[in-house]
Chains A and B, each alone.
Chain A
Amino acid sequence: MSVTDPEGIEGQIAHHEATAEAAEARLAEILHDAIPDTNPGWGVNRLTKELYDRGFFLERPTDSPGLLYKNPETGEEVRIMERPLSQRPSDPAEKFTFGHYYRYRPGRGEREGAHVPIPDKE
């Protein structure tokens, strides 16, 4: 049993530390399937520029609103998708966090990674 007074300074510090740890753990979960060596703070424009710099090409718009990028040299794929208009309870929350999300596939034939939110930028 904890003897720390939750209303005291130590209790408040412990509370904030626990909150920060939980936030870091959640961020690590979300970014588990992110494109390697990218910054999770990048918006769509910065992320797209980075893809072109790395040898990706825009292949085509997707059936749902979004764009599919491919790297012919590495076999990597990235789908940058707009937030869907409707949400079913089973949908991953990351699809609806911001205006866009992406999914990264490290090689053709490999499993596509989970949804990664892309922060909104002006």
Chain B
Amino acid sequence: MSDLTEMEQRVLAELEEFWKENVFAMLNTIFDPTGDEREVTLLQEALRSLVERDYILMGLEGFFPSNPEKFTKSASLQLLSNLEGWFKFDSQDPHWTLSKGDIKKERIPMIFSTPAGRQKAGEILTQRGYQWWRPKR
């Protein structure tokens, strides 16, 4: 059906509405997070592949004001090479979050969809539906 992996499809689909998302929210959305470090690895691999295919770019953004900074393709891949260092798992309220500092104040890695990525996301959503991996409420 698609030349993209399941994780790559979930990431692109989540970007369809707002065109950008931070890496923590993305990971907490495409999985029901358990704290298994392979969850971060799977996200990292999906993001790397999507950058290579020109569907996304990475960048950094603050909270308020956000002042988003969108990276080039090569800088995006460089950020992704050390992505795991940004993550820690909060087991009290099970979710992935920023490893150091206050997430409300720090600039954190962002995922930005490209026009090609948005078009692909539309195709995926048409075929698979909104958040197909989550149980229907």
Listed in ascending order, the chain A residues whose CB lies under 8 Å from chain B are 29, 32, 57, 59-60, 62-64, 70, 72-75, 79, 88-92, 105, 107-112, 114
Beta-carbon contact of B25 and A112 below 8 Å = yes
Beta-carbon contact of A62 and B18 below 8 Å = yes
Give CA–CA (A104, B131) in the complex, Å.
Answer: 16
Given contacts A63-B18, A92-B130, contact A72 B96 (CB under 8 A): no
Give CA–CA (A18, B137) in the complex, Å.
Answer: 19
Q: List chain B residues, Cβ under 8 A from A111.
A: 25, 28-29, 95
* Interface pairs A-B: 9 shortest CB-CB: A109-B24, A90-B129, A75-B104, A72-B64, A111-B29, A70-B64, A111-B28, A90-B125, A108-B103
Q: Residue of B at shortest CB range from A89?
A: B126
Beta-carbon contact of A32 and B137 below 8 Å = yes
Give CA–CA (A32, B137) in the complex, Å.
Answer: 10
Beta-carbon contact of B19 and A72 below 8 Å = no
Give CA–CA (A45, B128) in the complex, Å.
Answer: 35
Q: List chain A residues, Cβ under 8 A from B114.
A: none
Minimum CB–CB distance for A81 against chain B, Å? 8
Q: Is B17 an interface residue (CB 8 A)?
A: yes
Q: Residue of A at shortest CB range from B20?
A: A63
* Complex interface residues of chain B between 85 and 137 (CB less than 8 A to chain A): 95-98, 103-104, 108, 122, 125-126, 128-130, 137
Within 8 Å by CB of A88, from B19, B97, B108, B125, lies: B125
Give CA–CA (A114, B17) in the complex, Å.
Answer: 12
**What are some 5 contacts across the A-B interface (CB < 8 A)?**
A59-B64, A73-B104, A79-B18, A107-B103, A108-B103
Given contacts A57-B64, A59-B65, contact A110 B28 (CB under 8 A): yes
Q: Is B22 an interface residue (CB 8 A)?
A: yes
Give CA–CA (A79, B29) in the complex, Å.
Answer: 17
Give CA–CA (A92, B95) in the complex, Å.
Answer: 25
Q: List chain B residues, Cβ under 8 A from A105.
A: 25
Q: List chain A residues, Cβ under 8 A from B103.
A: 75, 107-109
Within 8 Å by CB of B122, from A63, A75, A88, A92, lies: A88
Q: List chain B residues, Cβ under 8 A from A90.
A: 125-126, 128-130
Can you add 16 more A-B contacts, CB < 8 Å, to A91-B130, A108-B63, A109-B25? A32-B137, A59-B64, A60-B66, A62-B18, A63-B19, A79-B18, A89-B126, A91-B125, A92-B130, A108-B104, A109-B28, A109-B95, A109-B96, A110-B25, A110-B28, A110-B95
